[in-house]
Amino acid sequence: MANLPHPVQYQGSKRNLAAHILRFLPNQVGRLVEPFSGTAAISIATAAEQSAGNFWLNDLNKPLIELFNLIIENPDDIADAYADIWGEQHSDSIGHYFEVRKKFNETNDPKLFLYLLARCVKGAVRYNSEGLFNQSPDKRRKGTQPATMRKNIEGVSRLLKGKCQFTCLDYREVLTKVQKNDFVYMDPPYQGVCGNKDSRYFSGIDFEDFVLALKHLNQEGIAFAISYDGRLGSKTFGQVLPESLELKRIEIEVGRSSQSTLLGREETTIESLYLSPNLISRQFLDLTSYIIKAPKQLTLLEKHGHFSTATR
């Protein structure tokens, strides 16, 4: 699954975790709904496994959702536009980046956004207090080569073209419109990292509002999974979701932090995946079977009614 096409190397994307996450999701669903779709890593992986027939991609970041609409439905247009913008880099490629960034902040043109995402530092999206994209360029490289970008764009389009609905709505509105045969995967911004406003996102989400929305999904019998809190060594990110929601919490070991490695520390990044009661009741035997048959490095701890699984 590591070879799946991904045009955007987006910090926080679940691209590298997709294979682990999909092991806990239904084998077949009518529609996969991502209220916080980002770069649609889980939808791309699900499409590759042919586990869903249709997809609903939603993100509050309008240029990002417009960009993925172009990538999926008009791959040649966006690939050509990227090649043109990339080719306009001159001897002062850093100056070119800032020119493109200024124009993007004036127009919100998703074609410009693709170049910025491909060239910015670590693929890390950052916005200032006015909602303007303010990430700096990576001075060591000029971004993805146009031929490679085209290949990734075409690959994503082949998987998802004609199967997607694209919206730019508040996640709560999306959750009020999901149906019984849908499966919802959520990867919201961590609440509590930077208060209600994380510079990686247009806006944070209120924890209590999120919990209420999840209660509604439970009441409606909707199956869902959430990537939410996590930890790095002794440092935690995000607030653990309450036990009253009756979710099963699985901890997935992402790997050793590159930053910790540079600092000479042995710290491993752990991310949590929460499974809804509806999902657990529907495929509990499959989940148990997976845990029992998993490689030895996979450990299962029963704690406070939650599965805590570490996957290397």
Smallest Cα–Cα separation from 252: which of 32, 53, 25? 25
* Average predicted confidence (pLDDT) for the chain: 81
Q: 32-41, 189-198, 277-286: which has the highest mean pLDDT? A: 32-41
Model confidence over 216-247: pLDDT tens digits? 999 999 999 999 877 776 777 777 889 999 99
pTM for the model stands at: 0.83
- Is residue 111 within 8 Å of residue 74, measured between CB atoms? no
CA distance 273 to 275: 7
Instruction: State the virtual CA torsion across 169, 121, 154, 106 in degrees, nearest 10.
Output: 50
Predicted confidence band of residue 40 (pLDDT cuts 50, 70, 90):
very high
pLDDT at 202 over 60: no
What integer pLDDT is reported at residue 298 of this predicted model?
35
What are the structural domains of the chain?
1-187 (1.10.1020.10)
pLDDT at 201 over 70: no
Model confidence over 103-135: pLDDT tens digits? 999 999 999 999 999 999 887 888 998 889 999
